[in-house]
Structure 1
């Protein structure tokens, strides 16, 4: 591979598994990523999702960092409108103080939840409209140049934790370009605007203290196995679970079996759902690496963030290792 590979870990909670099992699996995945030469592992903030255990992102990063030694760890991302910039600066300043040079902070403006959960988070309905200002306020706290007179982030001030803007639309691309920050596109589940957003970002980029040249990270789903048919069956299982997670929210949601999900995905009505996982590959390690090479060029990406999507923890680690064996030099 000509671009670095990193990992997105959603800390999935499989059927019959506890949250503790899921978090132990996240440690195992990060340790394998470190040994295999991946650049970083990111965790995403989601709320009120029984199958995802990464809601307390900074806590999870701290736990994984204590069980690894070199690999960068971070949020991909913190949904900034859910929090005050000061609290985020304190949390990630603490992480950087404990694990110097290993912490990233990706920022998104989506709620990471549904409307009812947004209320439970006490999220201000207008918070997303202040996202750009909140990013600047957070950046200043981390630089020790507070925009709020008399208030400093302790810990946090002077740590200069690197910021990344996450997005799936032109808004994030424009903001990242204007602020001179790296841009991470959520193409693993929201692929539609990838090419246009990257073009907008690269054309509009302004150098900053953090970054002299534009830097694009693009996310992609991967299942690698020695047997390509096995990998493709794993991806089918994951795709079904993805659809069920979207459609089966709330007590009144219909319960769908696998045949019903497959029929939905094959229908005109299900085309949009199916397209959400457009940038996915399942196959042998050689097939996976060939696809990743194509995708890096297609996305004009400087780095790929891989969501390993096997249905269970053991096969996710194996998929990560098989991909690395063809694409990376072990650390």
Structure 2
């Protein structure tokens, strides 16, 4: 009884810190100290998308991979050090994240104009919003005022971030840990409206779903044939396929594809085919893009409120804590 009571107290205090930290965030945080911050970030994202349209999806995903691991604190941007294994090379990040240099560029521009003011954590939040908007999705006012973490944890990233093999039930449980509802889960999964996925993430669906030696029965037969050609058994797992039919446009096509059995990832298709709780929202969003946009924005704001309550700083370089020398060798390793 005593142990259970202590666990409850710890959880209560942790939740209190999370709420207190989030309450300090507000729109227009840099209105006096760096009023051009948001326009600088948006211009950098626009330029990056012109050079490489895939960068929009990559940059948007940073918010997810950062905020779920010990709050929105830019811990995922830290490179490894001799004393710390960072999150970039975690199983959930090494094969799915790219375009770190876009955040670097935004930070460099802001350091020239407003040195030591805008945190890397806030740049991630702004960049994710801009990537969505510039891809045809909704625009919204972001809350800012975060500090950058002084450390990162590869173990935490590995244990928290879900696999593309995850089913709807596991995803619902994960989001519930962060006080995010089934509605939030499905709406935020709509981030896969843009971008690509790799063949290694779906080979099991095509040839050995749940250890049966057979394909996922939820897949549309024509779509399965298309994926067979793209991702043959024993083929190159790094080949990429579109996550929905309109991978450069942020819209509700993703949900229409799920209803039709054309979800690329198991974690996506399971939202429709694997659980009635999430299927309800997939159906709604497939019919009403405006509703999806509204709920997506609500979910992004909730996720942006996730804070650890730990101390932090405004990093001069997003890849290293202040006072540590930047090692470009690690940058090349990430890019490779």
- TM-score > 0.5, shorter chain as reference: no
Relative to total residues, which structure has the larger helix share, 1 or 2?
2
Structure ranking higher on relative contact order (CA contacts 8 Å, 6+ apart): 2
**Taking structure 2 as the reference length, what is the TM-score of the superposition?**
0.26
Greater fraction strand = 1
TM-score by length of 1: 0.27
